[in-house]
Amino acid sequence: MPTVETVRGPVDAAELGRTYMHEHIFVLSTDVQQNYPDEWGDEDARVDDAVAKLSALAASGVRTIVDPTVIGLGRYIPRIQQVADRVLDLHIVVATGCYTYRDVPFFFHHRTADVRAILGRAESEAMVPLFVGDITEGIAHTGVRAGMLKCAIDEPGLTPGVERVMRAVAKTHLATGCPVTVHTHPGTHQGLAVQRVMAEEGVDPSAVVLGHSGDTADVDHLSALVEAGFWLGMDRFGINLETTFEARADTVVELCRRGLADRMVLAHDAACYLDWLDPEARAFLPQWHYLHIEQEVLPYLRDHGVSEEQITTMLVDNPRRIFEGG
């Protein structure tokens, strides 16, 4: 029986239940927060707020979330442990990797393959042993092991920094078997760059979720990525600035009509607190919260011909299959 690492320990993949494959809890610019802490405010109040929001999510029937908050997004596992210990009916899978659209963090900038060769390090890429350790040993002495790998590619495309992270994630996957989620920008077809790099690294696309695929309504492009073997993350329900609720939902409806429910996973890419936005700007995104799929998306999908069986496939079976190894 394959197991999945969660914040409270390993869980049988068959026990994951309804799973949202891409939900953050806190997204923080850590060094900004450490110097300008007033907006964040009281730590205990933020944890209480997260416990309340995730308890409501669990009460809606969701049993598991995957939180792909990695380096670059303010990952801090002790705070996640505090939350997880108070929401016992929700499994939280955390991730390792690095989030950038352009350059590697300065920590890695001068830790090049050449320097590591001079120093006699066994692994030429400095990120790989760190990511592998997060998966096999645990993160920062918390004992919590990462269950997902994450990297990103956005409009700037496959910059040297983005490529370095993606290849490090690919090598870590090959060493550990841990599945991968990639932040993509489907409007500029960045999934094709992911396809090329993963193929060069020898990664089976069935281990890779192309996140944010629902940001486009180009179902032919998405169908081609499925044809290539990837999973589609329809994982930004509620972020309706450059698109609409209906456009996002209709894309899922059409892909289901094409028989591709067995290649999609759903989520909101929401957070309890994300410091990328002025808190008052959240008013522009009224549907961006953990309950939007249950309250609005699923009723819309049912009204437009998506069957209960297809919904279960997307929310329960596909996440399990991804953790079982594609």
Q: Calculate Rg over the CA atoms of the chain.
A: 19
Q: Minimum Å distance from CB 116 to Zn ion?
A: 30
Q: Minimum Å distance from CB 271 to Zn ion?
A: 8
- Report the interface residues with Zn ion, using CB under 5 A: 269
Q: Minimum Å distance from CB 66 to Zn ion?
A: 10
Q: Minimum Å distance from CB 222 to Zn ion?
A: 18
Could you tell me the two tokens for 45?
A: 């109040």
Name the amino acid, one letter, at 285.
L
Q: Which is nearer to Zn ion, 269 or 275 (CB)?
A: 269
Q: Minimum Å distance from CB 276 to Zn ion?
A: 10
C-alpha count within 13 angstroms, C-beta hemisphere, residue 24:
20
Cβ neighbour number for residue 286 with a 10 Å cutoff: 10
Cβ contacts of 146 within 8 Å, gap of 6 or more: 5, 94, 95, 96, 131, 134, 135, 139, 178
Q: How far apart are CA 286 and CA 280, in angstroms?
A: 11
Q: Minimum Å distance from CB 269 to Zn ion?
A: 4
Q: Which is nearer to Zn ion, 182 or 193 (CB)?
A: 182
Q: Which is nearer to Zn ion, 98 or 306 (CB)?
A: 98
Q: Which is nearer to Zn ion, 67 or 125 (CB)?
A: 67
Longest dimension (CA), the chain: 62
Q: Minimum Å distance from CB 124 to Zn ion?
A: 29
Q: Which is nearer to Zn ion, 269 or 294 (CB)?
A: 269
Tell how strand 148-152 and strand 180-183 pair up. Answer: parallel
* Partner residues linked to 274 by β-bridges: 27
Q: Which residue is nearest to Zn ion (CB)?
A: 269
Q: Which is nearer to Zn ion, 154 or 269 (CB)?
A: 269
3-state class (DSSP) for residue 206 = helix
Q: Which is nearer to Zn ion, 79 or 257 (CB)?
A: 79
Q: How far apart are CA 266 and CA 318, in angstroms?
A: 10
Q: Which of 60, 54, 59, 6 is nearest to 26 (CA)?
A: 54
Q: Minimum Å distance from CB 28 to Zn ion?
A: 13
Q: Where are the alpha helices (DSSP H) in the chain?
A: 30-35, 43-59, 77-84, 106-109, 113-119, 127-136, 160-176, 191-201, 219-227, 245-257, 292, 298-303, 308-312, 318-323
Q: Minimum Å distance from CB 22 to Zn ion?
A: 6
CA 85 to chain centre: 21
Q: Which is nearer to Zn ion, 5 or 269 (CB)?
A: 269
Can you tell me which residue has the tokens 């011909």? Answer: 305
Q: Which of 241, 180, 235 is nearest to 213 (CA)?
A: 235
